[in-house]
Amino acid sequence: MKFTPTPLAGVWLIEPELRADERGFFARLWCPRELAARGLNPALAQTSVSFNHRAGTVRGMHWQAQPHAEAKLVRASRGAIWDVAVDLRPQSPTRLQSVGFELSADNRRMLYIPEGCAHGFQTLTDSAEVTYEISTFYDAASGRGARPDDPLLGLTWPLPVTVISSRDQEWPLLSDRPAALR
């Protein structure tokens, strides 16, 4: 696996190293030893999948609060997405900064998002499927979110938004919330 650091500490772009021959290729997509060697959380509690019918669909921005904060390794297993991480860690020098990358079934890139960062994506193709490796079990009471158009985040999406849940549209602005709820 090839690990490339991003401008946000702890957020990594990961590419599988393909071992190709006349049959095709073989590659690792998850290796706790390689994650741990870089100080990343190697725990794997669950794998989840999200299927999205239409290009322009936005999901996010989501995270779980302590003590259930989660790290995620995200990849597009079908189609393509614009994947975004936002640093919400209180003491981080990159707090409220974001990074975004195109992840696709064709480029096979993955984004590692550590605890304390919000995550979301926009589908760039119809029938996009996203797979998540998640470090801890989902806890509904710890679920948090921010509107994808929250001015404090300053995110821009590559396509017009075609589909978004009412829940993601109705999160209160981060500037209107106490820091403990962010």
Residues with a known catalytic role: 62, 132
- DSSP assignments along the chain, one per residue: -EEEE-SSTT-EEEE---EEETTEEE--S--HHHHHHTT------EEEEEEE-STTEEEEEEEE-TTS---EEEEEEESEEEEEEEE--TT-TTTT-EEEEEEETTT--EEEE-TTEEEEEEESSTTEEEEEEESS---GGGEEE--TT-TTT----SS---EE-HHHHHSPPGGGS-GGG-
Report which of 49, 52, 175 is spatially closest to residue 122, judged by C-alpha positions: 52
Pairing of strands 163-164, 57-64: parallel
